[in-house]
Amino acid sequence: MNHLNNSSNHAQQGRQSQNPQRLSLINITKEYPGCIANDKITMSLAAGEIHALLGENGAGKSTLVKSIYGVVAPDQGDIFWDGRKVIIKSPSVARDLGIGMVFQHFSLFETLTVSENIELCLSKKQLTSIPDLSDKIRQLSRQYGLDIDPDRHVHSLSIGERQRVEIMRCLVQSVKLLILDEPTSVLTPQEVTNLFTVLRQLAAEGCSILFISHKLHEVTELCHHATILRGGKVIATCEPKNETSASIAKMMVGELAEQTAGYAKKQGTDTVFSVNNLSLSPLQPFGTTLKQINFQLQAGEILGIAGVAGNGQDELMSVLSGEDNRSKAETICLENQNIGRFSAGKRRKMGLAYVPEERLGRGAVPEMSLTENTLLTHSEGFVQQGLVQWKKLKDYTSQLITQYSVKCHGERSEAQSLSGGNLQKFIMGREIGQAPKVLICAHPTWGVDVGAALSIHQALLTLRDQGAAILLVSEDIDELFLLADRMAAVCDGYLSPVVQTDNTNINEIGQWMAGTFIDEEQSTMIDTSSTSPTPSQHSKKETQA
């Protein structure tokens, strides 16, 4: 009883002392062994405000938003919600308050459908207020242009589509504060524009939005206020519309950020890797069929492949890496050897390295140490007579960590304890460390901050200059123009012609991403030759139409 009385007193004091902000954070501090993730962070958001949270990887953004969403309990500091002091013990408490969050690593059940996934996070009250959830999803999907089919299973969705489901989940719950961790990184320019329309609409309806992004031009375009973190502290706040991307970047990383305008393009030499007339039906029931893919990859060049998520990139990557080795032997060629039937391990031994799209759970085993994760793909020189040279491996891992400035406690850190960007730097370093002849790289800087992206770009260019052939698949068109020497685009399982980056422009590639290169003849030929088309082909075509 006493306890309750006290609490209401506190709440009233809180109400009097605070402005009518939707959310206020006062001196939030969170310490982890070895580092202070958040150091006395104070910030606030008004109703209807779009607020950017900026900072390098490891600056403490994730920890801060996790404190707001009840995933992490701060050691010190107070959180006020609508002027009342609250303790957000768990995400369900956060959701009850009206806080929704879209994480960088998605939290969806793969075996369930979209609407089942959304249903799972709704309380009974919310559920009864929605007569037909699928209809509601379709309606919101139309309203906000999210293009989500409520009946599809999540395992058949690409990363981009999954993110849209996560956003939809918050929309269905009609949140008062929406936290978005890098929402635009997998969307096409048009989809980003649509999303921004949604966010502006939500803000106009009074919803506050906390927006984490590394794309600074988006922040200047969209956000009303920005808070910039470095080393766990608030180091600046600004009004983005009065700033430029460059000035904000400078605040984020200090004086280090000298964004180069562009890198020199290179001409490749001999063809080391080629794909010849590759057509393959998908393993997944809703996957994309690969159709007549042809390209050559030359030593000393970066070939960039653009495309919207879910147009066959995942399927192409697993066929090239060897995780899916059903294609005909002669369709894939590495140094004049037909490797279409070779396993991933065999291809790796021949000098083909691969950085996959999913960092955690594929590129790295979450609960294993960085040393063990080095051994995952790099066993050459560390295994003698079947036994692992752990000492040597640990030294090498520590060296990788230093060389690629991976922020972690050391080689014993579990992969899952690293932030997305730091894990990516580690995986890039591990793959490059094997001195590959061919590096296949999927979305290398997705969710990575400016500083880390810069060092990943540098690493890729250095590898190219050493004579490696690099295939870069990315949904970030700016990045492709920055790095790729030649470019192509995928759409619906077709690959466009390959052109010199200098001889094309963002418009042409953008049109290719939408499939303008697929001529009628080609597609009808394929349709008659293949058996009945899968449902996804239908839906994809409808989408394009």
Partner 1 sequence: MKALPFKLIPTLEARIEPSLIMKISSPILAIFLTLIVGSILFSLLGKDPLHAMQVLLVAPLSDAYNINEMLVKMGPLLLCAVGLAICYRANLWNIGAEGQLLIGALGGSAVALQFVDSSAWFALPLTLIAGVLSGMLWAAIPTLLKLKFNSNLILTTIMFNYIALSLLNWGVHGPLKDPDGYGFPESAMFSEATTLPLLFSEGRAHLGVLFALVLALMTAFLLSKSHLGFQIKVFGSDEAAAKYAGFSSTKLTWIVMLFAGALAGLAGIAEVAGPIGQLVPGISPGYGYSAIIIAYLGRLNPIGTILATLFMAVLYMGGDLAQIELGIPTAVIGMFQGVLLFFLLACDFFINYRLNFNKSNAAYAQ
Which parts of 344-470 fold into alpha helices (H)?
Answer: 344-349, 370-377, 390-403, 420-432, 450-465
236 three-class SS = strand
Q: How far apart are CA 485 and CA 268, in angstroms?
A: 8
Q: How far is the CB of 348 from partner 1 (least distance, A)?
A: 5
Determine, following the binding rule CB under 8 A, whether residue 162 of this chain makes contact with partner 1. Answer: no
* CA pair distance 177, 203, nearest whole angstrom: 9
- Residue number, 243 or 431, with CB nearest to partner 1: 431
Minimum distance of partner 1 from residue 522's CB (angstroms): 32
The pair of three-digit structure tokens given for residue 288, joined into one six-digit string: 């994309």
User: What is the rounded CA–CA span in Å between residue 215 and residue 404?
Assistant: 22
* Tokens at 7, concatenated: 């609490």
CB of 442 to partner 1, least distance (A): 11
Block residue for tokens 């922040």:
219
Site string for partner 1, 383-402 (x = CB under 8 A): x--xxx-x------------
- Tell me how far, at minimum, the Cβ of 314 lies from partner 1, in Å: 12
Judged by beta carbon, residue 156 or residue 539, the one nearer partner 1 is 156
Amino acid at 2: N
Contact 456, 444 (CB under 8 A): yes
3-class SS of residue 35: strand
Kindly state whether residue 110 participates in binding partner 1, applying the rule CB under 8 A: no
Coil, strand, or helix at residue 306?
strand
Residues 299-338 that bind partner 1 (CB under 8 A): 321-323
Show Cβ contacts of residue 142 under 8 Å, excluding neighbours closer than 6 positions: none
Between 72 and 167, name the residue whose CB sits nearer to partner 1. 72
Tell me the C-alpha distance between 47 and 458, whole Å: 41
Part in contact with partner 1 (CB under 8 A); list of ranges 7-15, 41-49, 105-113, 519-527? 7-15
Q: Candidates 26-34, 101-109, 205-213, 362-370: pick the segment binding partner 1 (CB under 8 A).
A: 362-370
Q: To the nearest whole angstrom, how small is the minimum distance from the Cβ of residue 41 to partner 1?
A: 20
Cβ of 539: how many Cβ atoms within 10 Å? 14
Residues 33-72 touching partner 1, rule: CB under 8 A, are: 71-72
Is the separation of the CB atoms in 143 and 273 below 8 Å? no
Residue with tokens 């409808």: 542
- Binding part of the chain for partner 1, among 79-87, 248-256, 296-304, 400-408 by CB under 8 A, reads 79-87
Among 241, 326, 346, 541, which residue sits at the site for partner 1 (rule: CB under 8 A)? 346
Q: Is 98 in the site for partner 1 (CB under 8 A)?
A: no
DSSP annotation of 113 reads B
Specify the stretch interacting with partner 1 by CB under 8 A; choose among 30-38, 42-50, 80-88, 276-284: 80-88
Residues in the interface with partner 1 (CB under 8 A) total 50
Choose the stretch contacting partner 1; rule: CB under 8 A; options: 27-35, 290-298, 354-362, 455-463.
354-362
Per CB under 8 A, 473 contacts partner 1: no
Q: Is 88 in the site for partner 1 (CB under 8 A)?
A: yes
* 1: Cβ contacts below 8 Å, ≥ 6 apart: none
Residue whose CB is less far from partner 1, 222 or 316? 316
Q: Binding pattern to partner 1, positions 424-453, x when CB under 8 A?
A: ------------------------------
Contact status, residue 463 vs residue 439, Cβ threshold 8 Å: yes
Asked whether the beta carbons of 493 and 290 are under 8 A apart, the reply is yes
Residues that bind partner 1 (CB under 8 A): 1, 3-4, 6-7, 10-11, 71-72, 84-90, 92-93, 96-97, 321-323, 343-348, 354, 356, 358, 361-368, 372, 375-377, 379, 383, 386-388, 390
